A and B are shown apart, each in its own frame.
Chain A
Amino acid sequence: MPTVVEEPADATPGLAQRFGPSTWLRAARSRQVLGLALVLSLLQTALVLGDLDVPGRTWTALAFAFLVPGVPVALLLRLPSLLASAGIAVAVSIATQILVSMTMLQTGWWHPVMSVLAPTLIAWVVAVVVWRRPVSPRDELPKPAPVTLGARIREAGPTPWLLVAALALYLQAVSHTDQDLMTAYALISVMPLSYVLSLACIGAAAGIELSQDRQRERWLLATTITLVIVLFTYQNGSDQVAGFPTSWLHAGFTDYIRTHGAILPNFDARFSWPAFFAATANLSVSAGIPDATGLLRWAPLVYNLLYLIPLLLLARRIGRRRRYAWLAVMLFFCANWFEQDYFSPQATNLMLYLVLLSVLMWLGLVAGTPVDVRIRDRVSRWWHDGPRTSARRLLQAMVAHRPDRAPGVSSWQYVGVGAVFVVSIAASVVSHQLTPVVTVLALTVLALTGRTRLRFLWLAGGLLFALWFSYGATDFWLGHLGSLIGDVGQVGSSIGSGVGKRVTGSPEHLRLQYLRLATSGGFLVAALIGLLVRRRSPWLPTFVALSFLPFALIAGQSYGGEVVVRSFLFAMPLFAVFTTDAIAPLLEKLRPVTRASIIAVGILVVATSLVASRGANQRYERVTPDQIAAVHALYAVAPDGATIGEFSPFNPLHLGGIGSYTYPSMSDDTCFSVDTPAGCIASAQPDYVYFSSGQTFYGTDVAGYPADWSSRGITAAKALGYKEIWTSTHVTVLASPTAPRGATP
């Protein structure tokens, strides 16, 4: 039976080419990597046990969390792909941290030091096995020919200079961005020209590198990393503290677990999936920082850099032309307006999902599968046999099929990969509500279409999910399952709240929301064209199902309106690949100079539009140092049980005080109106009221309130007897006449 795996157009036959250029983890260098991981594990253990206050401890703690015990495990598996090994290393490390922390939380045996000791112990046990394995002569790396520095610089061409210029321009832009001057067009209204020039330099570097006859991986990697830095550090980097109030709320959850070693029952649905908060509570101890707020600011950068690993593996394997894999990765980042990469369980879980999907697709695609012939046969006989017969036979052929092993991957390695993914799914199941559902759906698709040998994974994932949902997350559904299930199937309602209710507000804000819709819609249409281009691929049914299965969440969920955004986020990695497939044939027809120019301009346009779409809510999602100081001052005087009125959740009030205070809404329709902005204050009479610029701008940009609604509210509250206990540029805190007060600005 001939093997008909779709080869990348520019690939040459041979095992090394099929697996990609990166076989170096098989080489002797793997011992050096292992040694570094072990040194890191000992260093972090010493830092934690000795409680040593040394600079850079946060970064060593992060490196530990992402590499230990994953690196020894990945080296033990010895998969013939650097990207697959790297992805597995990170996924195993994250999953271990999550499961160790979750075990401590569930057993009530809360000792954060164990979150360092347990992974270290696992790493050393695995390392012994890896170290004892002999290194064969074929694993030795050939010594590279010596190259002088001058020759290296000449060979590199303009790319490094463009990237250095991009970073310099970016730093200049960051220092010249004043977010206090934002208009209703939000972040893009204060974006300086130097930022656009920075993106232009990156676009030019990408255009040059992607138009080379022989691609230079290191410079493409450098270009993509620069793009990620410039795109995902701008919002927080050009401000003094991290934005996005939900991330401050998550830091509050983390600190509650760190302080109490337990969750707060019946407080918030997220405490039914508390593993992320438990793991980050331990991470903050490991990093030697007083609370998790120190982890917020650079979280988008860290997450997007991690995503780079599985995205590249996915794009290289799924994409029709290997040379455009980097373009697909860059397009994903340029389309990532969703703002789900803040300090959150979903951002962490997306990494686990992407690693699982990319490694399974890699294993499936490099293995030649006879089922491809039958699928092609069925697709070609579609009109002859009729759609029903063809579909039935196609499904039968796919379901009955079990793909061959990938070359160079043994049964033990398959079992090892399966074990890794069971651990990864278990970590996902206890840390996030939505991701395990998408994971199980993706695994089901791969099993049904005969694309994975690990066909038990979807069933194991489903059982793990059922186990946690029914026995672990009881707070979430106990007593009100009916109302939760009532959401299932409400497609119109979900789309209405996910799209319709978000496309509202001032004309400027509306334009930015339309830009978001246009970005996602554009990628959707381009991906459909890409799938049309790939219509002869035997993988087409799998590609289509994997691309669109995240949208099943819209029908079967109780997650609220945000599920539409999440569905697009899960679909976007594949959309980016198929978008590249759609445009690659056009690019191939162009001369290299024209191709480079078009890629450069294209990246500049979509990256600039990302600043507008991603930063569309920045005016009200921004958090400032004085707002945080006001919260701390408020909590210093407010006794337990006090009520603190807020007008919307766009404030950092929840960074602490979890479970100690209640936060009644002061913008309830029954008592609030634009004419009586203090109506709810008069009726509910909270002990304190927190007015912040975020809430004010949410009112003007989204809710349609007049510009002075907040100041009129403060005046009206004062008329009710409320006194200012804090006032600064971005926040005013009022106290009722009966509330204890004493804080000073």
Chain B
Amino acid sequence: MTTSILAIAVPKVSGPIATLLSGVVGLVIVVLALVAVLAAGWLWEMQPRWFTRRVARVTRYGVVPLLVAAAAATTLIRLFALS
């Protein structure tokens, strides 16, 4: 059996946005997402005084998922643009 059970095809992505995101801008986004995740991990464990329920909610449901999704998207765009 050699047929893939997923049969993924690599789409070709091009254009100015793809070029922008597959370069340094994309790298910065991924690094920012990483920093956000590490900071969130630190905050969650240390619970400083200013880390209120509201800040926690914004972090958990706003900043971190947004940056991680952006990082995932830019990574995929880079892979597809340069493949």
Chain A interface residues (CB < 8 Å from chain B): 411-412, 414-415, 418, 422, 453-457, 459-460, 463-464, 466-467, 469-471, 474, 477-482, 485-493, 496, 555
Which B residues are CB-close (under 8 A) to A490? Answer: 1-5
Contact between B30 and A463, CB atoms less than 8 A apart: yes
Interface presence of B38 (CB below 8 A): yes
Q: How many positions in chain B have a CB within 8 Å of any CB in the partner chain?
A: 35
Contact between A492 and B1, CB atoms less than 8 A apart: yes
C-alpha gap A350/B82 in the complex (Å): 32
Smallest distance from the beta carbon of B53 to chain A beta carbons, Å? 15
Smallest distance from the beta carbon of A373 to chain B beta carbons, Å? 23
C-alpha gap A422/B45 in the complex (Å): 15
Which B residues are CB-close (under 8 A) to A479? Answer: 82-83
- Checking B2, B34, B40 against A492 with a beta-carbon cut-off of 8 angstroms, the contacting residue is B2
Contacts A411-B46, A471-B27 hold; do A555 and B5 have CB atoms under 8 A apart? yes
Contact between A489 and B41, CB atoms less than 8 A apart: no
30 A/B residue pairs, CB under 8 Å, sorted by A:
A412-B46, A415-B45, A415-B46, A455-B41, A456-B40, A457-B41, A460-B37, A460-B38, A460-B41, A466-B71, A467-B27, A467-B34, A469-B75, A470-B79, A471-B27, A474-B82, A478-B82, A478-B83, A479-B82, A481-B79, A485-B10, A486-B4, A488-B4, A488-B8, A491-B1, A492-B2, A492-B3, A493-B1, A496-B1, A555-B5
Interface presence of B56 (CB below 8 A): no
8 Å CB contacts to A: which residues of B26-83? 26-27, 30-31, 33-34, 37-38, 40-42, 44-47, 64, 68, 71-72, 75, 78-80, 82-83
C-alpha gap A517/B27 in the complex (Å): 44
C-alpha gap A467/B68 in the complex (Å): 12
C-alpha gap A50/B47 in the complex (Å): 49
Interface hub of A464, A467, A496 (most chain B Cβ within 10 A): A467
Which A residues are CB-close (under 8 A) to B27? Answer: 467, 471
Contact between A463 and B46, CB atoms less than 8 A apart: no
Smallest distance from the beta carbon of A488 to chain B beta carbons, Å? 5
C-alpha gap A104/B56 in the complex (Å): 38
Contact between A481 and B8, CB atoms less than 8 A apart: no
Which A residues are CB-close (under 8 A) to B45? Answer: 411, 414-415, 418, 453-454
Which B residues are CB-close (under 8 A) to A415? Answer: 41-42, 45-46
Nearest 4 pairs of A and B residues by beta carbon:
A492-B1, A456-B41, A481-B83, A489-B6
Contacts A411-B45, A456-B37, A466-B30 hold; do A489 and B4 have CB atoms under 8 A apart? yes
Which B residues are CB-close (under 8 A) to A411? Answer: 45-47
Which B residues are CB-close (under 8 A) to A464? Answer: 34
**B interface secondary structure, majority:** helix
C-alpha gap A448/B72 in the complex (Å): 20
Smallest distance from the beta carbon of B14 to chain A beta carbons, Å? 14
Contact between B37 and A463, CB atoms less than 8 A apart: yes
Smallest distance from the beta carbon of A531 to chain B beta carbons, Å? 26
Smallest distance from the beta carbon of B43 to chain A beta carbons, Å? 10
C-alpha gap A479/B46 in the complex (Å): 45
Interface presence of B7 (CB below 8 A): yes
Which A residues are CB-close (under 8 A) to B42? Answer: 415, 418
- Checking A422, A460, A463, A482 against B83 with a beta-carbon cut-off of 8 angstroms, the contacting residue is A482
C-alpha gap A496/B2 in the complex (Å): 9
Contact between B2 and A493, CB atoms less than 8 A apart: yes
Contacts A464-B34, A466-B30, A488-B4 hold; do A418 and B41 have CB atoms under 8 A apart? yes
- Checking B6, B34, B37, B47 against A488 with a beta-carbon cut-off of 8 angstroms, the contacting residue is B6
Which B residues are CB-close (under 8 A) to A456? Answer: 37-38, 40-41, 44
Smallest distance from the beta carbon of A365 to chain B beta carbons, Å? 19
C-alpha gap A453/B44 in the complex (Å): 9
Which B residues are CB-close (under 8 A) to A453? Answer: 45
Residue of B whose beta carbon sits closest to that of A414: B45
Residue of B whose beta carbon sits closest to that of A456: B41
Smallest distance from the beta carbon of A399 to chain B beta carbons, Å? 13
Which A residues are CB-close (under 8 A) to B40? Answer: 456
Interface presence of B9 (CB below 8 A): yes
C-alpha gap A486/B7 in the complex (Å): 7
Which B residues are CB-close (under 8 A) to A489? Answer: 4-8
C-alpha gap A480/B79 in the complex (Å): 10
Contact between B1 and A477, CB atoms less than 8 A apart: no
Residue of A whose beta carbon sits closest to that of B71: A463
Smallest distance from the beta carbon of A209 to chain B beta carbons, Å? 40
C-alpha gap A302/B3 in the complex (Å): 41
Smallest distance from the beta carbon of A656 to chain B beta carbons, Å? 33
C-alpha gap A478/B78 in the complex (Å): 10
C-alpha gap A412/B72 in the complex (Å): 30
Contacts A460-B37, A490-B2 hold; do A482 and B10 have CB atoms under 8 A apart? yes
Which B residues are CB-close (under 8 A) to A492? Answer: 1-3
Which B residues are CB-close (under 8 A) to A481? Answer: 10, 79-80, 82-83
Which B residues are CB-close (under 8 A) to A454? Answer: 41, 45
Contact between B83 and A466, CB atoms less than 8 A apart: no
Contact between B41 and A463, CB atoms less than 8 A apart: no
Contact between A477 and B4, CB atoms less than 8 A apart: no
Which A residues are CB-close (under 8 A) to B26? Answer: 470
Which A residues are CB-close (under 8 A) to B10? Answer: 481-482, 485
Smallest distance from the beta carbon of A307 to chain B beta carbons, Å? 28
